[in-house]
Amino acid sequence: MSKGDKKRERPPEPEGLPAPIVDAHTHLDACGASTAAEVRKIVDRAEAAGVARVVTVADDIDSARWTVEASAWDDRVFSAVALHPTRAKDFGEAEREVLEGLVGNPRVVAVGETGLDYYWDFSPPEPQQEAFRWHIDLAKRSGKPLMIHDRDAHADILRILAEEGAPETVIFHCFSGDAEFARECVDAGYVLSFAGTATFRNANARGLREAARRVPVEQMLVETDAPFLAPHPFRGRPNEPYCVNYTLRDLAELREVDVAELAEATTTTAERVFGFPRAATS
């Protein structure tokens, strides 16, 4: 098999975890699922690896509708709805009306992903910030957690949250800051969700790994952001919810704690944050 063929393969399915965990942020539609049967296959693979529940997250209006539909197909799937900041230049009254109608669904457990992205040049900062403020208000009115996308925008994210008044629960999806920024977020009461990037071994990941080592476990989630950001040592390969198993194991080693301990702790955090019922114990 060529190196190129290997890059197109999903990572091997790992041994199941000693306690069930939650993939706090994934994109099942971008993973290739469009039907109930395709969703079930992905979530079955996740469950075999110890991933009992997933939150599938929207990035546009069609995706928002689909995530809510998919959450009705399988009890292990929950939804988050919003318009991604890179699409904010197209955010208008029609999009607001759709999201207002979807957010009250009981399978919707977060408003997200919203926030700011100054890395890509798809939407200027002004419409991004306006859309972010609207999503903050939606989260507060709906009583749902706010799930934040933050890329190269740490200072403006914190400033706008302070100006608007943060919702009761704020989740920094795919947390990308260093230990100092993590401390600011933790002190504000925010929850940090770590993806495969926190397992990377390159120099740029050192600050992020230190943040993942230090954050209090009661403010910590794990996620895939699949199909993106497959964890070490599978970086660059297609990601899927079962791969959060690898991330959880890597973070347990980094934090020098037992895998079962970290699995149980992050699941407890997810249950509190998203309002899930407690996982069944054997």
Residues at the binding site are 25, 27, 113, 149, 173, 225
Strands (E), 15-159: 21-26, 51-57, 77-81, 108-117, 146-151
Which DSSP symbol is given to 15? P
Q: Which amino acid is at 119?
A: Y
CA dihedral 58, 24, 54, 28 (to 10 degrees): 40
Q: Which residues contact 44 (CB under 8 A, 6 or more apart)?
A: none
* 50 neighbors 21 (Cβ within 8 angstroms): yes
In whole angstroms, what is the distance from residue 166 CA to residue 178 CA?
Answer: 21
> Residues forming the annotated binding site for a divalent metal cation?
25, 27, 113, 149, 173, 225
3-state secondary structure of 253: helix
d(CA 186, CA 72): 33
CA 143 to mean position of chain CA atoms: 18
